[in-house]
Amino acid sequence: MIFFAGNSLSKSITRTNLVLIPKKSNVQSFSDMRPISLSSFVNKIFSSIIHDRLQDILPKIISSNQSGFVKGRSIIENVLLTQELISYINKRGKPSNVVIKLDMAKAYDRVSCFFLMKILRKMGFSNKVVDLIWRLITNNYYSVIINGQPHGFFHSTRGVKQGDPLFPALFILSAEVLTRALNALFNNDQFIRYGMPKWSPNLKYLAYVDDTIIFSSTNEYSLKKIMSTLQKYEKQSGQKVNKEKSFYYLHQNTTRNISERVKQCLDMNWGDFPMTYLGCPIIHSIKRKEHFVELIDNVKGKLQDWKGKMLPDGGKEVLITSVLQSTPIYILSAIFPPMCVINELHRIFAKFFWINKETRKSKHWSAWKKICLPKQEGGLGFRSMLKFLRLCMINFGGDSELKRICGPIFFETSIVKKQIPTLMECKGGSQVWKYMLENRDLLEQAIWWEPKGGTSSIWFENWTNLGPLVKHQSEGHTCHVMRDVEEFLNEEGWNYDEMQNYVAEHVVDHIRNNMSQLKLVNQGDKPWWTVTSNGKFSVKSAWELLRVKENVCDDLKHLWCKGIPFKFSFLAWRIWKGQVSVAQLMHSWNPKTYACLES
Host domain of residue 514: 452-524
The b/e string for 377-408 (b: 16+ C-beta within 10 A; e otherwise) is ebbbebbbbbebbbbbbbbbbbbbbbeeebbe
Number of domains, the chain: 3
Task: From 249, 277, 305, give the residue that closes a domain.
Answer: 277
Q: Is the pLDDT of residue 358 over 80?
A: no
pLDDT band at residue 231, thresholds of 50, 70 and 90?
very high
Q: Is 336:389 a contact under the CB 8 Å cutoff?
A: yes
Model pLDDT for residues 83-142, shown as the tens digit of each residue: 888 888 887 667 889 999 999 888 888 888 889 999 999 999 999 999 988 888 888 888
Confidence of residue 230 (pLDDT cuts 50, 70, 90): very high
* pLDDT attached to residue 200: 66
Q: Do 473 and 584 lie in a common domain?
A: no
222 and 85 both lie in a single domain: yes
Q: Are 289 and 338 in contact (CB under 8 A)?
A: yes
Domain assignment present for 426: no
In a domain, 303, yes or no: no
At residue 425, the pLDDT reads: 53
* 403 belongs to a structural domain: no
| 407 is a domain residue | no
Using CB atoms within 10 Å of the CB of residue 366, give its burial: 0 to 12 exposed, 13 to 18 middle, 19+ buried: middle
The pLDDT > 90 percentage for the chain reads 13
Domain boundary (224, 246, 277) is at 277
Contact 96, 297 (CB under 8 A): no
* Residue 414 pLDDT grade (very low, low, confident, very high; cuts 50, 70, 90): very low
- Specify whether 465 is located in the same domain as 590: no
Residue 427 falls within a domain, yes or no? no
Considering the domain architecture, whether residues 558 and 519 belong to the same structural domain is answered as no
pLDDT tens, residue by residue, 175-195? 999 999 998 898 888 888 888
Task: Choose the most confident range, by mean pLDDT, from 230-239, 389-398, 508-517, 523-532.
Answer: 230-239
> Which of 32, 35, 3 lies closest to 137 in space, CA to CA?
3
Q: What is the pLDDT of residue 418?
A: 38
Same domain for 104 and 66 = yes
Residues 466 and 565 both lie in one domain: no
Q: What pLDDT shows up at residue 519?
A: 66
Backbone angles phi, psi at 529, to 5 degrees: -90, 105
Residue at which a domain ends, from 277, 311, 329: 277
Q: How confident is the model at residue 436 (pLDDT cuts 50, 70, 90)?
A: low
pLDDT score of 119: 92
- For residue 410, pLDDT beyond 90: no
Of 354, 322, 374, which is closest to residue 574 (Cα–Cα)?
354
Query: Which residues, listed in sequence order, are joined to residue 241 by a DSSP beta bridge?
Result: 104
As a whole number, the mean pLDDT across the chain is 80
Q: Is residue 419 one of the residues assigned to a domain?
A: no
pLDDT by residue (tens digit) across 417-433?
Answer: 334 444 455 555 566 66
pLDDT score for 407: 38
Q: Both 52 and 128 in a single domain?
A: yes
Within this chain, do residues 520 and 481 fall inside the same structural domain, yes or no? yes
On whether the CB atoms of residues 249 and 89 are closer than 8 A, the answer is: yes
Report which of 461, 472, 466 is spatially closest to residue 527, judged by C-alpha positions. Answer: 461
Same domain as 562, residue 520: no
Residues 208 and 249 in one domain: yes
**Predicted confidence (pLDDT) at residue 359 exceeds the cutoff of 80:** no
150 and 226 in a single domain? The answer is: yes
Residue 480 has pLDDT above 70, yes or no: no
CB atoms within 10 A of CB 62: 23
Would 3 be classed as within a structural domain? Answer: no
Q: In this structure, are 127 and 28 located in the same domain?
A: yes
The answer to whether residue 529 is domain-embedded is: no
Q: In the predicted model, is pLDDT for residue 224 greater than 90? A: yes
Residues 22-55 have pLDDT tens digits of: 888 788 887 788 888 877 888 888 888 999 989 8
Average pLDDT over residues 300-320: 80
